[in-house]
Structure 1
Amino acid sequence: MATVSDRPDPPAAKPRVRAGSLLGTVPFLAYVAVFLIIPTLVVVVGAFAGDGGFTWSNVAALGEGYILDAFARSVALSAVTAAIGAVLGAVLAYALVTARPGGPLRRVVTAASGVLAQFGGVTLAFAFIATIGLSGFVTVFLRDHLGIDLYAGGVWLFELPGLALVYTYFQVPLMVIVFLPALDGIRPQWREATESLGGSTWQYWTRVAGPLLAPAFLGSALLLFANAFSAYATAAALVSQGNPIVPLQIRGALTSEVVLGQQNLGKAMALGMVVVVAVVMTGYTLLQRRTARWLG
């Protein structure tokens, strides 16, 4: 005879989703559709559209030398600024973790990082031009009072070196924001356990904290890469001649005279950028999952 304990448990009731609870997501879904899904579809469809319908000519044109050079410069610029921003931002984030929790230093630096990470575009370009431009107050002061000419080797601010400096300005605070939670996830007990077992500080960082933080650090660096690779407004305001990177090449393809049969070349280049960013963000998501599993 079956007892009460032998009886199978009743199936768990599935949670019901009320229609009213979904209303709050409608504005978000509409925002995503208007500013992300629809523009992406326009780029994808336009990249394969020609005068006679479907064509591969737009995508095939991405093999042109000047376009490949623009992609190479964009990748190099993004990689360099991501590496510099990741290292400097990680050091600053570690300094915040070692400070007093909830202290004024952490609050001020975190708030400033949140603001400076979003400080870009024309405003940031103007700030650098007014500061270290050809007639910037720092440039004039160094030249007139200390005899130092910042532009003795050329007008570098309006070329790739200048873009690298300006991009690093907002990459560092962004790294602080995205990497700080991972550092907060490191438990003091792990270091105490290492020391109690006779481990040194070097062994702690190379065998305990380092492997745990590596996925978070690499994922944050990938996010910085995508952030720099997709930036446009700052470069457009700073670089007035030439199209050294892909976003400026797309601007030139959309605003200048279009070669017959290449009306949608700009959309093909945009599709190439979408593919690169999608690959990078996929890697970022996988690394974030690994980080959450270890530090969650």
Structure 2
Amino acid sequence: MTAPTTGTLEAPTTTGVRGGRRHRSRIRDLLGVVPFFVYVAVFLFIPTIVVVVGAFAGDDGRPTLENISALADDYIVEAFVRSITLSAVTAILGAVIGALVAYAVVTAGPDSLVRRLVTSACGVLAQFGGVTLAFAFIATIGFSGFVTVFLKDSLGIDIFSGGMWLFDLPGLVLVYTYFQIPLMVIVFLPALDGVRPQWREATESLGGSTFYYWRRVAAPLLAPAFIGSTLLLFANAFSAYATAAALVSQGSPIVPLQIRSALTSEVLLGRENLGKAMALGMVLVVALVMWLYGLLQRRTSRWLD
């Protein structure tokens, strides 16, 4: 009588051990992302829920559509138009100038000192906003800024002869463009790096000119990345608050400042939920823009990979 072999008994045991290890590995992986999910829940999901609930609630806590219907008021519509105009103008300016800077950096070589310096500076300047940036511009080209004083005393040029433009929408355009350009350099560089030199060489070997290469090869490939980066810049400017709050001391020309007035005004009380309705409008605009950005990014990733 043949003795039973142990091979068939060891396989299930080994499989069970491996399955247990994989299960523990998955648990460890999930534990590693718990802080991220907590962060997203506290600073994104919960505030969004509060905004949505408050937008459809009255002062007495009952459901109402008054706050949503109030978004059609002239001053709120004008604030949205100003915010969208400000975001679009600074996004286009930042995208065009930033793309040119990014192209100049790419031509310098991947390991060049110029690229390291420019990317490092852009990483810092893209995050240089808020009160600090507003103070820097006021100290530079404000009423008593050193550039303003120098131009007026030395050359007789008064940059504020046409009004207090720095503290209104023109000033916001200038300040926002300042941090939009380095952000564009950072987000557009990977797309330029994805353009293969062999494609240009192939175009030239087939008799194509530089203009033909950019019109038929590079531009169609870079267009989704360029448009997507522009949309990202739009969302970045549309949601910015601290810089405008520090620079614009009178009035509320854009939506974030209107929301601040609704939440903190001591003259008109009981408008907190109207501020949440305006915030909901901003959330919807940014969500639409970022959805379009995601579509373009997926298209770009097809040829970058």
TM-score by length of 2: 0.91
Partner of residue 159, structure 2: 150
Partner of residue 241, structure 1: 250
Q: CA deviation at 1:21?
A: 1.8
Partner of residue 136, structure 2: 127
Q: CA deviation at 1:257?
A: 3.7
Partner of residue 112, structure 1: 121
Residue identity in the other structure for 1:204: Y
The question of whether the paired residues in 1 share the 8 Å contact of 2:151 and 2:158 is answered with yes
Q: CA deviation at 1:111?
A: 0.3
Counterpart Cα distance in 2 of 1:278 and 1:197? 44
Counterpart Cα distance in 2 of 1:78 and 1:264? 25
Partner of residue 255, structure 1: 264
Counterpart Cα distance in 1 of 2:199 and 2:105? 19
Q: CA deviation at 1:22?
A: 1.0
- The 10-residue stretch of structure 1 (27-36 or 50-59) with the greater mean CA deviation from structure 2: 50-59
Partner of residue 186, structure 1: 195
Partner of residue 37, structure 1: 45
Partner of residue 5, structure 2: none
Counterpart Cα distance in 2 of 1:219 and 1:18? 34
Counterpart Cα distance in 1 of 2:178 and 2:225? 21
Q: CA deviation at 1:224?
A: 0.2
Counterpart Cα distance in 1 of 2:28 and 2:296? 35
Q: CA deviation at 1:258?
A: 6.7
Name the SS of the counterpart of 2:75 in structure 1. Answer: helix
Partner of residue 62, structure 1: 71
Partner of residue 36, structure 2: 28
Q: After superposition, where does 1:1-296 map in structure 2 within 5 Å?
A: 18-50=26-58, 51=60, 53-257=62-266, 259=268, 262-296=271-305
Residue identity in the other structure for 2:80: F
Counterpart Cα distance in 2 of 1:67 and 1:135? 33
The question of whether the paired residues in 2 share the 8 Å contact of 1:133 and 1:157 is answered with yes
Counterpart Cα distance in 1 of 2:149 and 2:222? 44
The answer for unaligned runs of 5 or more in structure 1 is 1-12
TM-score by length of 1: 0.93
Name the SS of the counterpart of 1:198 in structure 2. Answer: coil
Counterpart Cα distance in 1 of 2:262 and 2:125? 31
Residue identity in the other structure for 2:65: W
Task: Give the structure with the higher percent helix.
Answer: 2
Structure with greater Cα Rg = 2
Counterpart Cα distance in 1 of 2:199 and 2:51? 49
Counterpart Cα distance in 2 of 1:217 and 1:264? 37
Residues 83-116 of structure 1 show CA distances to partners (whole Å, capped at 9, x for unaligned) of 0000000000000000022111000000000000
- Please report the RMSD computed on the Cα atoms of aligned residues, expressed in angstroms: 1.5
Counterpart Cα distance in 2 of 1:147 and 1:73? 33
